[in-house]
Structure 1
Amino acid sequence: MTEVPPLDRLATLAGRSWRVQELPGGLTNTNFHVTGDDGLDPVIDVVVRWSQGDATLLGIDRDAEAFNTAAAADAGVGADVLEYRPDLSMLVISFLPGRSLDNADFADPGVLARAASATRELHAGPRFQGDFDMFTRRAAYLSTVQERGYGLPPGYLDHADAWDAVRRALAVRAQPTVPCNNDLLAANFIDDGTRCRLIDYEYSGNNDACFELGNTATECDLTPEQVEAYTEAYFGTPTRADLARVRLQMLVSEYGWSLWGFIQAAASPIDYDFEGWGMERYEKAVATLRGPDLRRLLEDVVS
């Protein structure tokens, strides 16, 4: 097991008897499931998120993460925040029963519908602390890469004009922002067979709902048919502009997050192929940037 943080310093666990198990996943933190029944109330069944690495490099605000995690719980789709200890780089939340999804699960229409429903509930909940805009985030990531001499995907800067065209098109009919997780990959959906709930609010902030949908669509490798079905499950009766907006936000997610991978490749202490992670997203973005559908999507999104 990975090194375990000083869990006994948490008020939630101090003086209690408990067991700890590391949970899979987490590329900027390590998660531990802590359980115990020592006859005291309440029974211990919590997750401790232990942050690692330089959060400022990636634009992570840990205070906002804790606030927004609690807001998601208030919306009915997140885990309760039990304790926040920034001095220990730890956040304690309630354990959510169910299983983390994987990409293949989205082939099930029931899973797709539950995921869309949970996303809609989050977006209808209390406003988050802070805003998230991938165009702003990508510019900050690019500055970090260039100022520190980190590697860039080959040809990354060749797409500046197309990137700006996407930004301008999305701004024409910009929608009011809603509280978004902004990192709803499959593993961040916890499904108990009846409903989904959502975890991991490191990158949360108020944002365009279609970025949320587009980010999930690309992170979960949804087929074009599944993207359409997911958009329909969220909107009910999406317009052509809605569908184009989700498709363009898939591209925005891919192009922006690819730089996250290259920053992590250079700076993270975690043993993981971050460059490969970034290249996978960059290559997806390039396929759209150079593909035959971009012009139509730019036209549809402003229609």
Structure 2
Amino acid sequence: MVTTQSSSRNARRRPRKWTAFLRRRSMLARLLATILLAVCVPLVFSSSQFIRRESGTIQQYEQEQLSSVAQSIALQLERFMESMQSISTKIMLNSSLYENVIASNVRTELEGLELIETYQAALPFVADYALYYENLQSLYSNSGKYRPSVFAEQILHLPAEQWPALFEGVNTPQFLPCTAGSALYVVPLRSNNLDASARFCLFHITEKTLTKALANLLADRYFLFSMEESLEEGGSLVIYQSSAGAPESASTPGSYLLNGQEYMLTSASCKGGYTLAVGMNKSGLYQNLERLNAHVGQFSAVALLLCLFLAGIAVALNYRPIVSIFNAVRG
């Protein structure tokens, strides 16, 4: 019983001790609360503005860098197309590759294959290329002679029945839709022999050869997602799609997800009405700044509540001194 009463008396004395402590140091407490209020308000809002400004600056820099890389890739693809057209012109003008010459006997076929293979050095971005004779129904490529159905299935990985309709309406150099992770560029050739049928140069570009050829631009952060052709009747036709698939929209505005990795996307145009979709792998710093920027509003709200709390304390502590000053002035 005595112990219980002693404990209750000690409990009542603790608030009195704190009250006495604050009363003895009331001036210090008022000064501290006022200084905290005066310092915290501008510090909170200046910090919020600084975070937003720096995040915006980094985002703008990253976006400009991505746009610059995308434009460089578009220019490089234009050079690739010019190289393929140049090789096609050489093939077209070479009399050894005329239809009536190359198909005359086995020796001329072998010589034609050797000649076609010599162009490989000028096409490092091409995995397979071939000269297709429509009348002969044969393809002479850098890897040998093929029947159309075999070339379609083994090289292009397309159904054999799709081959006959593949070149319908193709009268200018252009990309044709192919399987995911590859692109097919076709250049129709005009023949000097009026009796000869149509000839086409085919260039099969894979994701591996394209990435290797663009290694100095793509580095480790950039990625070519797709390439589309704008159609005259409206809309677009996908002529290249990375084997990884199409990215999906992420929770962060302007961000896309692919295989769990977050990317920024931009587009660039090149000759022929083609549009590239190029992505950039977001760095850890960039993602952290995005998250921090997203929480700046919450941080500001909490800081504002803290400032209001400090203002209340400052007013409460300074109330009596202020009233006494007013009373002294009035008296």
* TM-score of the aligned structures, taking structure 1 as reference length: 0.18
Choose between structure 1 and 2: higher helix proportion: 2
Choose between structure 1 and 2: higher strand proportion: 2
* TM-score of the aligned structures, taking structure 2 as reference length: 0.17
